[in-house]
Amino acid sequence: MSTDRLYQLIGADGARYTSPTPGTIGGYRKERRYGRLDCKVARRALEHGALYAQQRVFFADEATAIAVGYHPCAVCMPVEHAAWKAGKRGKR
């Protein structure tokens, strides 16, 4: 029996897949938001309730999170979030 750890990630097509490599980006499915794994907002939410943990997803990279319609966290990725907001306003 293998002792290698496997991780559940979301792919660019939105489907879940198993990977031997952990994701580098965490996401919150309910708000379609992604951010760094060390984000203080995500860490605080995980400490205070299981509901957040149930909505937590992981991506191999930022490009994959964007491909499935997630947007950057304003707290841990302020530059990326500002660019996303500016682009969103321009599409109206």
Tell me, what's the pLDDT at 49?
78
Q: Which pLDDT tens digit goes with each residue over 49-64? A: 788 889 999 999 999 9
State the average pLDDT over residues 40-54. Answer: 89
Q: pTM for the complete prediction?
A: 0.84
> For residues 74 and 50, which has the higher predicted lDDT (pLDDT)?
74
Integer Rg of the chain from CA: 14
Mean pLDDT confidence for 83-92: 79
Whether the CB-CB separation of 12 and 67 falls below 8 Å is answered with yes
The structural architecture, per CATH, of the domain 7-90 is 3-Layer(aba) Sandwich (3.40)
Distances in Å between the Cα of 28 and the Cα atoms of 61, 86, 92 are 15, 21, 25
In this structure, what token pair is assigned to residue 26? 């965490």
User: What residue segments make up the domains of the chain, in order of their start?
Assistant: 7-90
